[in-house]
Amino acid sequence: ARALPYRIETLRRFANVVRQRHEPFADLLARETGRPLWEARAEIDGVIARVDASVSGFAERTAQRRLDSPMGSRTALRHKPHGVIGVIAPACTPVEIAAGHLIPALIAGNAVVLKPSEKTPAVAVFLVECLLAAGVPEASVRLAIGGPAEGRALAASADVDGLFFTGSARTGAALHRAGAERPDRLLALEMGGNNAILAWDTPDLAAAAAIVVQSAFASAGQRCTAAGRLVVDDAIADALFDQVARLSDRLIVGAPHDDPAPFMGPVADDEAADGLIDRFLDLILRGGRAIRHLGRPDPDRPFLTPAIIDVTGVSDRVDAALFGPVLQVQRVASFEEGIAAVNATRFGLSATLLGQTPALYDRFWAGTRAGIVNWNRPSHGAGPGAPSGGTGWSGNHRPGGWYAADRCAYPVVSMEAEAARAMMGIGLRDG
């Protein structure tokens, strides 16, 4: 019910609160997720940057407009919030993803109920405390701690006017089915991807290998935009695979506060580690050739070393994101075959080309199905100042980031005049 400038100023105070509490927030995030401290700090930086980006995105996407109309009236375009938004956030990048939903929703004037992953409740508490400290009313941001049962309850609540979900495709599809009887409620799904890099005429193999390793193994491969597949021109495949393997061997895997700082920490938990090992062994049984095995230094802790497996001869691979430090590599003989291999997935979040020919990039950009298409850059998104979303099973065409304002408020068109003026000249009897 407060004016937009008041809401914006409140969220800018929130950014200042997070800035003031940056180090304890990052430390808590690192300890709860196991991610390196430097990476946790970068995520908190992303939360702060999200505020100004959301303000600018809201101004561009939902700006109030007035148009002249006949007979001295005018047409006005404004936007209204949906009401109560339920947010279900994942354990990967739990703070930035949750903030990416909450901040634009609050700027638009919605109230929000956040259900974080049961694996990362502490950082969600810290995030909400920062919002309250900035002056967001307690009635406008609430926290629901729990697991799948609490998530289902939030999704089924008749008092929720919109539901924003980031997580697995299986859960997203279940939410889609469960919402079939609620066409009045907005549903925004962000469901990850089985992302691929196509390496073609790239002369600097060391630089290409660095981009591949960053894309595949950052955050232990636990990003929705992580590249789990590498498709390579057969002419350079052996040389590039060797470079990627050499660089992967140098990556430090360790705890958040280790010195020297690790490149990657553990996967989410022991269950996730066990599942990844099973999936890796399944690929070998199906004909895959391990270039670098998936190692587990301590069987009682979820630390995994980066793995690379050649799946060129595996025809029945499961189309799913492994969500861990496993890179599947594939050789192809032609550029067309490479694009086809990149598109050989029901997902469509991120696709990357490594190559030096602009004409090939134009063909790659036009021929791939993805919401993020990069050229000689890592597969991860472009940051809070750009839209973020995908096609296919990566979402339901409700992108976040810069376009988050589209799903946080709905347009209202009004024809307005300060006095009633009307006449009828056709279809009337003489009176």
Given a contact cutoff of 8 angstroms between Cβ atoms, the answer to whether 295 and 264 are in contact is no
Q: Which residues of 113-125 are buried (b: 16+ CB within 10 A; e: fewer)?
A: bbbbbeebbebbe
What gap in Å lies between CA 431 and CA 422, rounded to an integer? 17
Provide the token pair at 193. Answer: 């991807």
Q: Is 224 a catalytic residue?
A: yes
d(CA 101, CA 164): 7
Q: Does 408 participate in catalysis according to the annotation?
A: no
Give the number of residues written for the chain: 431
Choosing from 32, 190, 337, 416, which is the catalytic residue?
190
262, 271 Cβ separation under 8 angstroms? no
Exactly one of 92, 130, 224, 408 is catalytic; name it. 224
Question: Are 391 and 49 spatial neighbours (Cβ–Cβ below 8 Å)?
Answer: no
- φ/ψ (deg, to 5) at 156: -90, -10
Which long-range contacts (C-beta less than 8 Å, at least 24 apart) are formed by 202-206? 202/236, 202/240, 202/354, 202/355, 202/356, 202/376, 203/356, 205/236, 205/239, 205/240, 205/243, 206/243
Which active-site residues does the annotation give? 190, 224
